Structure 1
Amino acid sequence: MNKKTITVFATSILTCSVFAGVLGTTWANQATPLVTTKQETNANEAAKQNMFRNIKLAEPALLYTLKGEASVFEGTYQYAVKQGKHVLAKGYGTASKGGPEWGTFAQTIKIARSELIGNEPLMLEMFEINQENGAIINKLSIPLDSSDTVKNTKVFRNLKLVAPSVVYTVSGEASVFEGTYQYAVKQGEQVVAKGFGTASKGGPEWGEFSEEIVIPLSKLSKNKPSTLELFEIDQESGEMKNKMMLPLK
């Protein structure tokens, strides 16, 4: 079964904004040889501790997934996400079988904050295109903020909206042992997501990385700020070290 992921970003129910910070230290030159040596030592220690650089955080996104079955020509369906009359995104996907048979599909959509206008609800339209005249046919409209069961039609059935998630994307460079870094997203002391990733090169070289962190919206509190922690694990003690903290407000 072919699955197509269309990427768009949103904030219709996101009330957070993202701020990224990069830690740095400025060292002053000193006059005497003794002080210079001490400063060089401190600079070396700081360099060892700063294992992440050029860190960038993308806008948070709201992730929706619609699963179900379709009976459409050659298995191809169309979709559009609208806010009022404004089209936020549009595209197509393919079910595992073409009509008149029923094929399964899963369509993942990221809604873009920059595309939103006001606080109007979002609507997902599923339909197909008439092969003779190009007209829209068999359209089904699905509110993206509704938990109600989606009704069956003659070309779409057994449709289910997966509970939405928030997606944070962080990228940059890391200089860590074997290229492996750890991450955690916290709200206060509560860890709402954690995992690890691998940079393109291991330390002491700098390797590039990009990490997409998906968190179920139900796990996040709207009234608590979120923080992303990047760090590595000491190979001898197993303790956290070289931690960088980034606010995800």
Structure 2
Amino acid sequence: MKKKFLLGIFMVLFIGLTACSLDINISTGDKKPDVIDNENNQEEEENKQYENESFKEVKVSKSNGKITVEGKARVFEGVFQYAVISGTEILLENHYQTDGAPAWGNFEITIDKELMTKEDVSIELFVYSAKDGSKTDILTIPIK
């Protein structure tokens, strides 16, 4: 009996240490998007990349009165939604079609800077759940 108990404790410790050493995220709660800064912290916002399980290599650039959001998405049937939000107000909501999962499909969304005149504007990329219609895999990108 003691051997089984000690073996059980050993297995729990081994799995826990392995997960930590491999940097595996075993939590099931909501995650904030990963922000990847390809250079040092003093680089411009345009060098930042955002990602989560459904979106990767997402970058924001600004030019000629437009804001461009581009990256890759791996979503069911290649369809995802995006919204421009200021606080709780939705300024724009639309959808985008790209390659369907399991492939990573490229996307490029262009938005007029006129929508960005309010404070605390962000862009959300997300998928509506087929199960209950809720937003899932939300990637929130602040626009400054």
TM-score when normalising by structure 1: 0.38
Alignment of 1:88-237 (within 5 A): 167-199=66-98, 201-214=99-112, 217=114, 221-222=117-118, 224-237=119-132
- Taking a change above 3 Å as real, the CA distance of residues 210 and 236 of structure 1, as seen in their structure-2 partners, is same
Residue identity over aligned pairs, in percent, reads: 26
Q: Which consecutive residues of structure 2, in runs of 5 or more, have no partner in the other structure? A: 1-11, 32-51
Name which of 42, 55, 62 aligns with 2:26.
42
Is the partner of 1:32 in helix, strand or coil?
Answer: helix
RMSD between superposed Cα atoms in Å: 3.1
Give 1:227 shift.
Answer: 0.4
Q: Which letter maps to 2:87?
A: G
Give 1:203 shift.
Answer: 1.5
Is the partner of 1:59 in helix, strand or coil?
Answer: strand
Q: Which letter maps to 1:191?
A: I
- Taking a change above 3 Å as real, the CA distance of residues 207 and 36 of structure 1, as seen in their structure-2 partners, is same
Is the partner of 1:178 in helix, strand or coil?
Answer: helix
The reply on whether 1:32 has 2:35 as its aligned counterpart is no
Higher relative contact order (CA 8 A, sep 6+): 1
- Taking a change above 3 Å as real, the CA distance of residues 31 and 211 of structure 1, as seen in their structure-2 partners, is same
Is the partner of 1:237 in helix, strand or coil?
Answer: coil
Give 1:40 shift.
Answer: 5.2
Q: Which consecutive residues of structure 1, in runs of 5 or more, have no partner in the other structure? A: 1-29, 63-166
How far does the alpha carbon of each residue in 1:62-113 deviate from its partner, in whole angstroms, 9 at most, with x for none?
A: 2xxxxxxxxxxxxxxxxxxxxxxxxxxxxxxxxxxxxxxxxxxxxxxxxxxx
Name segments (4+ residues, structure 1) moved above 6 Å.
43-46
How far does the alpha carbon of each residue in 1:33-57 deviate from its partner, in whole angstroms, 9 at most, with x for none?
A: 35546975728998xx621101111
Q: What is the CA–CA distance in structure 2 between the aligned matches of 1:170 and 1:192, rounded to whole Å?
A: 16
- Taking a change above 3 Å as real, the CA distance of residues 227 and 41 of structure 1, as seen in their structure-2 partners, is closer
Give 1:205 shift.
Answer: 2.0
Q: Which letter maps to 1:186?
A: I
Kindly tell me the number of residue pairs found equivalent between the two proteins: 110
Q: What is the CA–CA distance in structure 2 between the aligned matches of 1:204 and 1:187, rounded to whole Å?
A: 32
